[in-house]
């Protein structure tokens, strides 16, 4: 099983970025974006099930949009109106029907003020 993120980078506050996640080697029932800022614990950003049900952290509602998570095992995170506090390493995870999680290595998002 492989999970890989892409699309991170440096952006000014108020700007946008789109992250992508590609998973392969199994069938996944839910895919999730997480992030970890320096000195902080990893936190859930957004998730999407294979049926299209989405969930967002309160801190990103109205700014971030998750999509994908379908049979193609790809997922996206459109991030708009980015804030310096969104700076973090963003991770993708994919969970199988047997509740096994697979993780990507992460992609860095830096938002400058």
Q: What is the mean pLDDT of the chain?
A: 95
pLDDT at 73: 87
pLDDT at 64: 98
C-beta separation of 90 from 109 below 8 A? yes
Whole-number percent of the chain with pLDDT over 70: 100
Report helix, strand or coil for 53: coil
pLDDT at 99: 94
What pLDDT band is residue 69 in, cutting at 50, 70 and 90?
confident
Nearest to 5 by CA among 86, 49, 55, 68: 68
Q: Does 106 have pLDDT greater than 80?
A: yes
* Residue 42 C-alpha from the chain's centroid: 12
Q: Does 71 have pLDDT greater than 80?
A: no
Instruction: Write the pLDDT tens digit of every residue in 3-46.
Output: 999 999 999 999 999 999 999 999 999 999 999 999 999 999 99
pLDDT at 24: 92
* Residue 61 C-alpha from the chain's centroid: 13
């Amino acid at each position: 099983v492989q999970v890989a993120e892409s699309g991170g980078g440096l952006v000014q506050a108020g700007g946008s970025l789109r992250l992508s996640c590609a998973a392969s080697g199994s069938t996944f029932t839910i895919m999730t974006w997480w992030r970890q800022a320096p000195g902080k614990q990893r936190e859930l950003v957004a998730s999407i099930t294979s049926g299209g049900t989405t969930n967002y952290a309160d801190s990103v509602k109205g700014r971030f949009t998750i999509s994908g998570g379908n049979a193609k095992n790809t997922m996206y995170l459109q991030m708009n109106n980015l804030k310096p506090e969104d700076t973090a390493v963003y991770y993708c995870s994919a969970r199988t029907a047997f509740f096994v999680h697979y993780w990507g290595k992460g992609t860095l998002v830096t938002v400058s003020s």
